Amino acid sequence: MEIPERAFITDDDSRNNIHTMIAKCKCQYCNGALEFESENFQESGQDQRQIFGQFVPCPHCNKQTIIYLEKLAPQDNVRAFLKERDESRIRFLKERNESRIRSDSRIEDQLETAGIIILLIGLVAFLASVFLAVTSSQIEWLIVGFAAVFQGSIFFLLFKGFAEVIRLLREK
């Protein structure tokens, strides 16, 4: 296995002030060049020559190939890469915890809950109308029941849609 010319690049993203490293390896099927960032590398094992990551679809041949770090690359680079990977993982977990705490009272979750409650009320009204229609033999009650379910479903879908839109906007 040949050693890539420049196995590691240090890439400073000054916009977000995120320090990430890029490693290169080759697809095991087509030998096409692959690049991956330290924060996306998930170590899955190693042998004498390589530290293996996870399977990714090759951008050249589309087959699932495993990414890896060359142990023959300068050891300082390998260490720095893995260190950066660990630090980005800690950052990720920290950010996820923070967003979890923030998400406790998020409006989109409340909207979704409200939609479910309205839908449930509609279903209960439908059951009540079936009961009334049967006991009073007045079929008109069924129309009221269907209207209640229809209304509940519309509100449910509307609220759910709003919640998804807010989520999408938040992720940007």
Q: Is residue 55 near Zn ion by the rule CB under 5 A?
A: no
Q: Is residue 30 near Zn ion by the rule CB under 5 A?
A: yes
Taking the complex as a whole, the smallest distance from the CB of residue 26 to Zn ion amounts, in Å, to: 8
Amino acid letter at 118?
I
Task: For Zn ion, give the closer residue by CB, 33 or 157.
Answer: 33
Rounded to whole angstroms, the Cα distance separating 54 from 68 reads: 8
Three-state helix/strand/coil letters over 27-71? CCCCCCEEEEEHHHCCCCEECCCEEEEEEEECCCCCCEEEEEEEC
Q: Is residue 27 near Zn ion by the rule CB under 5 A?
A: yes
Q: Is residue 150 near Zn ion by the rule CB under 5 A?
A: no
Q: Is residue 61 near Zn ion by the rule CB under 5 A?
A: yes
Rounded to whole angstroms, the Cα distance separating 153 from 16 reads: 42
Amino acid letter at 88?
S
Q: Is residue 58 near Zn ion by the rule CB under 5 A?
A: yes
Interface region with Zn ion, contact rule CB under 5 A, candidates 18-26, 31-39, 44-52, 124-132: 31-39
Taking the complex as a whole, the smallest distance from the CB of residue 1 to Zn ion amounts, in Å, to: 15
Q: Do residues 129 and 139 touch, judged by C-beta distance below 8 A?
A: no
**Candidate residues 11, 29, 86, 97; the one interacting with Zn ion per rule CB under 5 A:** 29
Rounded to whole angstroms, the Cα distance separating 22 from 20 reads: 7
Number of shown-chain residues binding Zn ion (CB under 5 A):
7
Build a one-symbol-per-residue string for 102-141: x at contacts with Zn ion by CB under 5 A, - elsewhere: ----------------------------------------
Q: Is residue 67 near Zn ion by the rule CB under 5 A?
A: no
Work out the widest C-alpha separation in the chain, in whole angstroms.
86
Q: Is residue 32 near Zn ion by the rule CB under 5 A?
A: yes
Q: How many CA atoms lie within 13 A of 132 on its CB side?
A: 14
- Which residues in this chain contact Zn ion in the complex, by CB under 5 A? 27, 29-30, 32, 58, 60-61
